[in-house]
Structure 1
């Protein structure tokens, strides 16, 4: 049967994630991988989760843990998130919170909620590959979101053509893939631009908790609330996740925004999966209440040491003409290579001769540009592996210059 002739046309825009494919290399013990932006499983609070699942399955709570539940999410977890949002300067209520199956599901829902075919999404250049994957199914156009320029709202609207600009998507803290953080002035500029264009802002905060150094900056949503007085008067939607702090396998994230938006997305969740796993939400709530801050402090110490080791190794082994970011947190360092080097070709050679994996940067550009860029993750590899892997890459890149 020719299945393609009955697939919807939007499937042509859905591509396999290069990162998902590269994660398969983790099963090969001789590969040093800087590819997947994934937590170190040795740092998971495994015993705490074992105890939490046992607690959820005791006779008093097992019926709740194993039964269908409300689409909005497990109330005690939503209440914990309300408290966490307040700490970030985002006063809200339970009605402003929706639990999702990871923040990736939130991105999919928001694309589905807002994008008509031909509408424009403003994204970073580069931006998170998973966001492009989530939005692509809804057949948007992409334009470069660059608050550092003097580009006007009229310029953005004109570039959108017959469609209209619907939202600006960005990761403002230690962004995937670049590791960069948007400063306070640029955060304010994004709010100004969104007001001028009358669009939404999607604030992807997956790495917000992983700051190693420097001054913590208020989220875009917090800044907008300061201006407008209430979350329900704001156009920013904050997407959070426990994947980078507690455990990605449980697939628990959340969306925080105006109740009108949350209510509409709840209808989508009812149609898509009814609700996220109740027992997983219960376990997350238990562990978060008991040790979220202390556990985050532990992983930040480990990841900071690995970031420092990778930065030192890059200084020692990279040839002239290679530049890289110096993130204040998160999991990523972004490299720009001399223009004649194609990072995808470099990866193929690296896997063959050096046995080091990374992600070629072109995958993070909506237009496929950035062929001379690459993303390195320092979260999964120990310090000895970082030293050896960067030395091998430096040797390979030096030969290609």
Structure 2
């Protein structure tokens, strides 16, 4: 028989199943309280607004364009709307600096393909977004830990990259309410990252998937905005690549994300799009544009009100039920809280016991670490559970941790 492993590309060995995608299957089990999936609450989707948007598209002359092939850059009215929104964040740009992708996950895949040759180094935080590691892994990079506390010098990054057989190509991080930790990089940290990127002469990939979901605290300018301020407001002189998405605000199922960057980067990404899938769904882009133009701010206000209450409920429950020695983050927005257990705990082992004995699910933290560390950590999400369910689920989880500590 044909041995497929002998003819697969070497990169295929680095393609691993997502622990999160597998855990999402538990959402179909009514007996499980799941804090695993970092997904939006479908009850908060603007379904009626989308129903009207699609009806408007099909009832007018735009339907022909909606069902036809389109340009690889993306639907121009949507790119123009996004350019206007970027301006509100201090990122002055035009539609030519905006590129539409089939979800920001596709954007990460394209950027990995664009920058990484086998043996090159990607700088990521420990932990980092699992989907980014999956996207980059196919291009056979090495990883080095990105730290912004002053303990690493540019030369140390260069040395590690050279030893791995390549050079540093980019730094990737989520700066606002990051997946998985919920933490936010302060302004000083963002400025330090820009200094490091300039010294190393590498790109910065700014994952802004949760940027709109701030519940309290002062907003911090995106890294791209800070760099533009350094470069006289000229986006075409910047090295930061801003990745955004409508998945957390409007609807993930439509798979509409975007990249905002200098024109040189956009042109390369367009070539990739042409080779990969020609363009993202035209009709979905048109629907997103209509819904965004008619009520994006109102939709964001609605989901922030709901998620902030759930965040507060989870933080209160953790304080009430978790034993001494357990630590967790206190996010100002987003969908996640990161829990650190005492040394010696294993999140994967705890998950198996939590599902079997307590009917509660979460995501073990090891998968978010490029070096395989973080076994004593896990991620919980508050986005899809009401306050009563959160209290019950954290109560069960806290009881399990107590039992394990006493064993």
Q: TM-score range by the shorter chain?
A: over 0.9
Please list every run of 5 or more consecutive structure 2 residues that lacks an aligned counterpart in the other structure.
none
Which residue is 1:80 aligned to? 81
Which residue is 1:163 aligned to? 166
Which residue is 1:204 aligned to? 207
Q: Which of 271, 275, 296 is the matching residue for 1:292? A: 296
Once the two structures are superposed, residues 189-241 of structure 1 have per-residue CA deviations (whole angstroms, 9 ceiling, x without a partner) of 00000000000000000000000000000000000000012110000000000
Structure 1 moving runs of 4+ over 4 Å: none
Separation of aligned partners in 1, 2:195 and 2:344: 38
Q: Which of 303, 325, 338 is the matching residue for 2:329? A: 325
Separation of aligned partners in 2, 1:288 and 1:106: 21
Separation of aligned partners in 2, 1:252 and 1:375: 25
Separation of aligned partners in 2, 1:246 and 1:4: 40
Give the superposition deviation at 1:150.
3.2
Q: Which of 222, 227, 237 is the matching residue for 1:224? A: 227
Give the superposition deviation at 1:340.
1.4
Confirm or deny that 1:253 pairs with 2:253.
Answer: no
* Residue aligned with 2:397, SS: helix
Separation of aligned partners in 2, 1:59 and 1:150: 60
Which residue is 2:279 aligned to? 275
Give the alignment's TM-score, normalised by structure 1.
0.99
* Residue aligned with 1:57, SS: helix
Give the alignment's TM-score, normalised by structure 2.
0.98
Separation of aligned partners in 1, 2:88 and 2:127: 30
Separation of aligned partners in 2, 1:341 and 1:398: 12
Confirm or deny that 1:102 pairs with 2:103.
Answer: yes
Separation of aligned partners in 2, 1:14 and 1:338: 31
Separation of aligned partners in 2, 1:368 and 1:357: 21
Once the two structures are superposed, residues 137-169 of structure 1 have per-residue CA deviations (whole angstroms, 9 ceiling, x without a partner) of 000000000011231111110111230000000
Structural mapping, 1:92-171, within 5 Å:
92-161=93-162, 162-171=165-174
Structural mapping, 1:1-400, within 5 Å:
1-161=2-162, 162-229=165-232, 230-400=234-404
Separation of aligned partners in 2, 1:239 and 1:262: 12
* Residue aligned with 1:79, SS: helix
* Residue aligned with 1:202, SS: strand
Please list every run of 5 or more consecutive structure 1 residues that lacks an aligned counterpart in the other structure.
none
Once the two structures are superposed, residues 108-157 of structure 1 have per-residue CA deviations (whole angstroms, 9 ceiling, x without a partner) of 00000000000000001000000000000000000000011231111110
Q: Report the number of matched residues.
A: 401
Give the superposition deviation at 1:379.
0.2
CA RMSD of aligned residues (A): 0.6
* Residue aligned with 2:59, SS: coil
Once the two structures are superposed, residues 168-194 of structure 1 have per-residue CA deviations (whole angstroms, 9 ceiling, x without a partner) of 000000000000000000000000000
Give the superposition deviation at 1:59.
3.6
Give the superposition deviation at 1:56.
1.3
Once the two structures are superposed, residues 22-49 of structure 1 have per-residue CA deviations (whole angstroms, 9 ceiling, x without a partner) of 0011010111000010000000000000
Separation of aligned partners in 2, 1:385 and 1:148: 38
